[in-house]
Amino acid sequence: MLADFKDVVEKGSRDERLLSSIAWDRLPRHVAIIMDGNGRWAAKRGQPRIAGHRAGVEAVRASVDTGARLGLGALTLYAFSTENWKRPRYEVDALMRMLRKYLRLELNEIERQNIRFRTIGRTHELAPNVRQEIARASERTDKNTGMVLSVALNYGGRAEIVDGARAAMAKLISEERRPQDLSEEDIARQLYTRDLPELDLLVRTSGELRISNFLLWQSAYAEIYVTDTLWPDFRRVHLLEAIVDYQQRRRRFGGLKLVVNAK
């Protein structure tokens, strides 16, 4: 709780004020972030896009550290989509090198904070050296019991639903059930996120008002929070702002609360 931040938050800072306003019994169970704006951040400074990606690593550190200290059940970061392969080869290669470097440098801290690391997406299509780093980090943190950090790599929301539906149908056939017996629950049990809490809060940086093929199934009733902050500038205070905003909303999940007018 607040005590977990005493060594990293200055007295009287906005971070401290936001933390003091958080309802600790109503934290979102699962927060996902679309990390957008690296290219624009670099362009504003006359630098190549790669510089924006490098600067974004500090935002990842801040978000992971904040999520772990808050005690979130899960934090999912959108790192590389199935569409990102269309980018220039040098940019794709640089992103993969940065991922491997991040895992090597941050693994001790991830383990110290009792975080369980994993990836979601079609990671079997990634290069062998990337898969090796992912496997090493996943195996080393597999027994940890704190926040689950999921990094979406070679991920697409539509692809996930297709993969889930195929797996659910294969199971249906193996159990000699009829196609019309296929249910939402059958598909949900085959999604990449099947062992994570329901998605409560989806955060998007850079001010864009779209979800970019990210967690399409899981976002059905998630609260969406958009900040104009570009990803490399995203820090603890911005995640806290998103959570405070989330806690001020009334979630109805498609229903309506009956209001009786006083007479």
What phi, psi does 45 have (nearest 5°)? -105, 10
Query: Under a CB-based contact definition with an 8 Å cutoff, are residues 82 and 155 in contact?
Result: yes
CA distances from 16 to 71, 96, 241 (A): 17, 35, 11
User: Catalytic annotation on 36?
Assistant: yes
Cα R_g (the chain), whole angstroms:
20
User: Catalytic annotation on 114?
Assistant: no
> Strand pairing of 30-34 and 148-155?
unpaired
Instruction: Give per-residue burial for 50-75: e unless 16+ CB within 10 Å, then b.
Output: bbbbbbbbebbebbbbbbbbbebbbb
Query: Under a CB-based contact definition with an 8 Å cutoff, are residues 211 and 224 in contact?
Result: yes
Q: Single out the catalytic residue among 4, 15, 65, 84.
A: 84
Q: Single out the catalytic residue among 15, 36, 65, 200.
A: 36
Catalytic residues, by residue number, are: 36, 84
